[in-house]
């Protein structure tokens, strides 16, 4: 009798596990991981899911077995037999979960500590999170600020993150790691990308009306491509003038919202710079960049343009304003 019950329960467990397994493993719940740290986090997740599938199968099997086997016969109004507990069983169901939870905690702690390790040959990029945009600054490129995060593959990087307003959170789904960006302190995010391509950066802390649009992109390049990119950025900063202006215009993502024929920009969210630009002096242009709501172009409302450009270094601000003063105008 005992033996038959055990066999029935085991078979039931296998059926439940067989049904749960494809749901847990064959569905792509997460995008393919793209970093060393993300791989470790996936290992923890997969181990935990394995254990959960096994425990769920066991519990569901006992539940189904009890429902079928011990259901009341028609017309049976008797109370069930009183049960007085089972010391062995109670010890087991206290001890086993304790061991499992401690094991997961130890595994997770090891991964967290490992993911926090930083090789001495890492690079540093500063990340500014503000309502509602991301900005990046490269100390190694003369403090160049960009509107997009560009990194070489297989190189460890430390992102030093700060916020001038409220709490935001930096997340790249493909990298798994997530980190809050908190006003008043600098938080760090250490990552070694292992996959080439463009991945979304998402703010995962409700930070105000524009929270849902506070997105950006990280571009992971090969070492050669990154060196070329870095060299061009450095040369543009050194060259100053129109070269730097053009670079800032491209890097800050201005083309996403504005038309500027000279830069091949066709964005339609904000005013057409070839129309509103001509005739403005450099102070007016700078004012419109750092304080976009000071003078609103007819047909547009305030608050559309992020205020983050106010933080551009003076030389980059001057350069891009001068670039716009000389380049904006009707197409020839």
How many chain residues are in contact with ligand CUA, going by CB under 6 A?
9
190 is a contact residue toward ligand CUA (CB under 6 A): no
Angle, alpha carbons 285-281-240 (nearest 5°): 70
- Nearer residue to ligand CUA within complex by CB, 37 or 308: 308
For residue 161, the minimal CB distance to ligand CUA (Å) is 11
211 is a contact residue toward ligand CUA (CB under 6 A): yes
Coil vs helix vs strand at 286: helix
Among 40, 145, 168, 176, binds ligand CUA (CB under 6 A): 168
For residue 127, the minimal CB distance to ligand CUA (Å) is 12
Token readout for 315 is 């030389």
Q: Show the binding pattern over residues 89-128: x = contacts ligand CUA (CB under 6 A), - = does not.
A: ----------------------------------------
- Nearer residue to ligand CUA within complex by CB, 212 or 266: 212
Binding segment for ligand CUA among 16-24, 50-58, 205-213, 309-317 (CB under 6 A)?
A: 205-213
201 is a contact residue toward ligand CUA (CB under 6 A): no
Coil vs helix vs strand at 268: coil
178 is a contact residue toward ligand CUA (CB under 6 A): no
Pairing state between β 149-152 and 215-221: parallel
In DSSP notation, 24-43 reads HHTS--SPPP-BHHHHHHHH
Among 128, 174, 205, 272, binds ligand CUA (CB under 6 A): 205
Please provide residue 255's backbone torsions phi and psi, each rounded to the nearest 5 degrees.
-65, -20
C-alpha to C-alpha distance for 135 and 216, rounded to whole angstroms: 9
Q: Where are the beta strands (DSSP E) in 82-186?
A: 123-130, 133-138, 144-146, 149-152, 157-162, 168-171, 178-181
For residue 189, the minimal CB distance to ligand CUA (Å) is 15
| Residue ranges in 23-52 that form contacts with ligand CUA under rule CB under 6 A | none
- Phi/psi class of residue 299: alpha, beta or left (left: φ > 0; alpha: ψ in -120 to 50)? left
Q: Name the residue among 329, 160, 168, 142 with its Cα closest to residue 248.
A: 142
207 is a contact residue toward ligand CUA (CB under 6 A): yes
214 is a contact residue toward ligand CUA (CB under 6 A): yes
328 is a contact residue toward ligand CUA (CB under 6 A): no
For residue 207, the minimal CB distance to ligand CUA (Å) is 3
167 within 8 A of 157, measured Cβ to Cβ: no
What distances in angstroms separate CA 298 from CA 87, 198, 295, 307, one per listed residue? 79, 36, 9, 19
C-alpha to C-alpha distance for 327 and 323, rounded to whole angstroms: 6
Among 203, 218, 276, 286, binds ligand CUA (CB under 6 A): 203
307 is a contact residue toward ligand CUA (CB under 6 A): no
Catalog residues that contact ligand CUA under the rule CB under 6 A. Answer: 129, 132, 168, 203, 205-207, 211, 214
């Amino acid at each position: 009798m005992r033996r038959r019950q055990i066999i029935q329960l085991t078979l039931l467990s296998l059926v439940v596990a067989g049904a749960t397994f494809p749901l847990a493993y064959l569905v792509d719940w997460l995008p393919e991981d793209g970093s060393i740290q993300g791989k470790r986090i996936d290992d923890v997740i997969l181990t935990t899911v394995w254990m959960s599938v096994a425990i769920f199968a066991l519990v569901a099997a006992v539940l189904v077995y009890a429902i079928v086997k011990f259901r009341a016969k028609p017309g049976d109004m008797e109370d069930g037999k009183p049960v007085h507990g089972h010391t062995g069983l109670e010890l087991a169901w206290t001890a086993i979960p304790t061991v499992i939870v401690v094991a997961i905690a130890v595994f997770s702690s090891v991964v967290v500590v490992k993911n926090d390790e930083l090789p001495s040959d890492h690079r540093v990029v500063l990340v500014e999170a503000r309502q509602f945009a991301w900005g990046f600054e490269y100390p190694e490129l003369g403090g160049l600020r960009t509107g997009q995060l560009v990194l070489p593959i297989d190189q460890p990087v430390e992102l030093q993150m700060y916020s001038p307003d409220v709490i935001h959170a930096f997340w790249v789904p493909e990298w798994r790691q997530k980190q809050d960006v908190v006003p008043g302190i600098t938080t760090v995010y250490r990552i070694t990308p292992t996959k080439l391509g463009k991945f979304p950066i998402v703010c995962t802390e409700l930070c105000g009306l524009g929270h849902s649009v506070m997105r950006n992109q990280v571009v992971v390049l090969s070492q050669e491509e990154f060196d070329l990119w870095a060299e061009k950025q450095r040369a543009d900063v050194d060259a100053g003038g129109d070269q730097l202006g053009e670079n800032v215009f491209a890097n800050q993502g201005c083309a996403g919202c504005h038309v500027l024929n000279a830069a091949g920009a066709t964005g339609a969210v904000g005013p057409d710079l070839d129309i509103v630009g001509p005739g403005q002096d450099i102070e007016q242009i700078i004012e419109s960049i750092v304080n976009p709501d000071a003078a609103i172009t007819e047909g547009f409302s305030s608050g559309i343009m992020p205020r983050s450009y106010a933080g551009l270094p003076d030389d980059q601000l001057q350069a891009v304003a001068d670039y716009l003063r000389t380049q904006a105008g009707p197409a020839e």
